[in-house]
Amino acid sequence: MNKGTFLGAVLALAAGYAAAEVPQGYYGSLEGKSGDALATAVADLAGYHLTITYNTKTWPAFEKTDVREIAGRQVWWDMYSNNLVWLPGHDSMNIEHGVANSWWGGKSGSTQAYSDLFHLTPSDQNANNKKDSYPPGEVADARLLDNGLLKIGTPAPGQGGGATSVFEPADEYKGDFARAYFYIFTTYADLSWKENYAYVYDTAGALQPWAVELLLKWHRQDPVSTKEKERNEQIYLLQKNRNPYIDYPDLAEYIWGNKKGVAYTPAATPAVATDRPEAPTFSGSPRMTAVNTYSTTYQGDTEVKINHVGKLNIRLDNGAWIEPTGDIISIPASDSGIVHTLEAYSTDTESGLNSPIARLHLRSTDPDEIDYTNYRWIRMSTQVNTPVVNNPLILVSDNMLHVMSTDGGTTSKTFMESAGFPDVDSDCDMISCIPDRSAIVKFENVGNSKVALRIFDIHNKPVGYWNTSAAKAMRLDAVKYTPAQYTLDSEGNFTLTFDGTGVGSLQFNQTQPRFLNYTTAQKPVRIYLRNDVRPSGIENFPTDEPDDWKIGVSDGNITLPAKAVIIDLQGRQISGDRLQPGIYVVTDGRRSEKIII
């Protein structure tokens, strides 16, 4: 059958296609074939599919192939991280090639392979960047990434084909990746595979023995799930071709496995899905912070009930996995601020398959400790009759997908990370819950219509001041700050500009989700004020003792705390205006701080 006749036949079949049905005769060309002839017949089935325009049509396609519902909302189904990224936005995510496109030259090597949905999925941007062009494999040391779902790092012995690092998916997705690899290396075997990436394949595009062994292992251990079958159906409607290793998993054995060389006959009906048990959940309504991940606080000795189906396995604080005698787990009393992590999965006694791992982070607190995640927040504007200065605020990206966290401002991170996604109302004017890592921000008046930006954690404990002397170079400091000036209008448009030449203003980088001072245009930042409606169970808002020991530094000028003076290296007391580059000491007789200009 020539290309035009084949595509016409496929389109005709698709017109009357019923969901979850393989079109009659679709796999007829595989009958009786073996070895290379069988692999070629599989490639011919896929070779004439429609090409989906990369990026502009990939995300609309993902809305049909890679979305699930959690807590009544649609969320992207990310096999690279447990992040909750709600639709319709998808910033902080990339389109990831399961089989690295650099191995064959990317779009210039084959537009069809580059755009093929069978190995494209939405991916957390950080995980995507860390995965790089590394091959799959078993990880001995997850030195690059271990986000609770994906591991990237040093390969175990016999893995990687000489690569310095490999990526290892979670058990529930290992088969998904294996079958995507089988599909790509069958369908596109005749591509010009790059020799400098030949960890997984030889120069003829054939899988290396170690890779065959690994992928068959993952394929056998993680059978085809309902998720995978439904994705196969949706891609068929879009591309007009199917992944045969999902419809007929035994096909892999005839091409690479224990039936290699034996003539193949497709079964009368495709294989049925085998699903893993659902991940356990935890009683007590803990807050969901990620997929199968929860957070709560506790005081004193406490107990956690785990809801599950099948045989339960648990571990506490990364200890050994054990089978508990019951489903009620004791958590010891701890000092305030200590976080325990309880992990659990269940095993289906019939199939032997494990559920995804569920995690509960428990933070020990004092009974009177504040927890800002429990408050509601309203968007600030000049119409809100409450001053910005000295009030607890949160900083949120303009698209409402990110709250600024307390993580960052260190030597390795000159920015503040996203803490994750808040719960917002339909108009984005009210936030009802914020992530545990969120930063609480207070603008402190330092005179001359300037403010210092100070960061606290969700328990009202100070983290530091924003201090900078250049664009994209923010630091957290216990006492030093860079003066800034804010503007806020009736529409809630907010800007915060720092003193200094070329220092810039506070903005949000949507491509690399982070809050930082930029001189170039990024995305705006919104500010939200703690609402004065007390949440259930909270009697009083916290009051903050003023701390006047803070030092402003900008363009050679130093703003002093009360009763403090500046001393130069010769021991002379000097003014803080227009200082020359050098080292100075600020002191009030009780405490001192070294300042470098």
**pLDDT at res. 538:** 33
**pLDDT at res. 20:** 54
**Beta carbons within 8 Å of 248's beta carbon, 6+ residues apart:** 27, 266, 267, 270, 271
* One domain, residues 410 and 482: yes
Distance CA 81, CA 542 (A): 36
User: Per the domain annotation, does 109 fall within a domain?
Assistant: yes
**pLDDT at res. 1:** 31
CATH at 304: 2.60.40.10
Here the tokens at position 169 are: 């998916």
| Number of independent structural domains in the chain | 4
Tell me the pTM: 0.77
| Domain endpoint, select from 220, 255, 290 | 255
Q: Which residues of 366-404 are buried (b: 16+ CB within 10 A; e: fewer)?
A: eeebbebbbbbbbbbbeeeeeebeeebbbbbbbebbbbb
**Beta carbons within 8 Å of 33's beta carbon, 6+ residues apart:** 41, 263, 264
* One domain, residues 208 and 298: no
* One domain, residues 114 and 190: yes
User: Per the domain annotation, does 269 fall within a domain?
Assistant: no
CA distances from 404 to 53, 397, 504 (A): 34, 8, 18
Beta sheet of 293-298, edge-to-edge order = 287-290, 293-298, 358-364, 339-347, 311-316
Q: If DSSP codes are grouped into helix, strand and coil, which group holds residue 518?
A: strand
User: Per the domain annotation, does 139 fall within a domain?
Assistant: yes
User: Per the domain annotation, does 276 fall within a domain?
Assistant: no
* One domain, residues 99 and 203: yes
* One domain, residues 467 and 359: no
* One domain, residues 461 and 398: yes
* One domain, residues 122 and 248: yes
**pLDDT at res. 477:** 94
Taking the CA atoms of 571, 576, 578 and 580 in sequence, report the sign of the dihedral they define: positive
**pLDDT at res. 426:** 63
* One domain, residues 484 and 580: no
Q: If DSSP codes are grouped into helix, strand and coil, which group holds residue 117?
A: helix
User: Per the domain annotation, does 203 fall within a domain?
Assistant: yes
CATH at 501: 2.80.10.50
* One domain, residues 151 and 216: yes
Q: H helices of 117-208, where?
A: 125-131, 171-187
Tell me if 396 sits within 8 A of 494, measured CB to CB.
no
User: Per the domain annotation, does 239 fall within a domain?
Assistant: yes
**Beta carbons within 8 Å of 499's beta carbon, 6+ residues apart:** 450, 482, 483, 484, 485, 554, 555
User: What are the mean pLDDT values of the chain's consecutive 10-residue runs (597 residues total)?
Assistant: 33 37 92 96 90 95 96 92 86 92 94 97 92 96 95 97 96 98 95 87 87 98 97 96 97 97 95 96 88 90 95 96 96 89 96 97 85 84 81 89 91 89 75 88 92 93 94 94 93 93 94 91 93 42 54 85 79 80 78 78
| Domain endpoint, select from 364, 391, 414 | 364
* One domain, residues 339 and 379: no
Q: Domain range for residue 393? A: 372-530
User: Per the domain annotation, does 360 fall within a domain?
Assistant: yes
Distance CA 299, CA 369 (A): 10
Here the tokens at position 395 are: 């900083």
What phi and psi, each to the nearest 5 degrees, are found at residue 397?
-65, 155
Q: H helices of 298-378, where?
A: none
| Domain endpoint, select from 364, 387, 416 | 364
* One domain, residues 190 and 162: yes
* One domain, residues 152 and 181: yes
User: Per the domain annotation, does 329 fall within a domain?
Assistant: yes
Distance CA 376, CA 386 (A): 15
Burial of 108 (0-12, 13-18, 19+ CB in 10 A): exposed
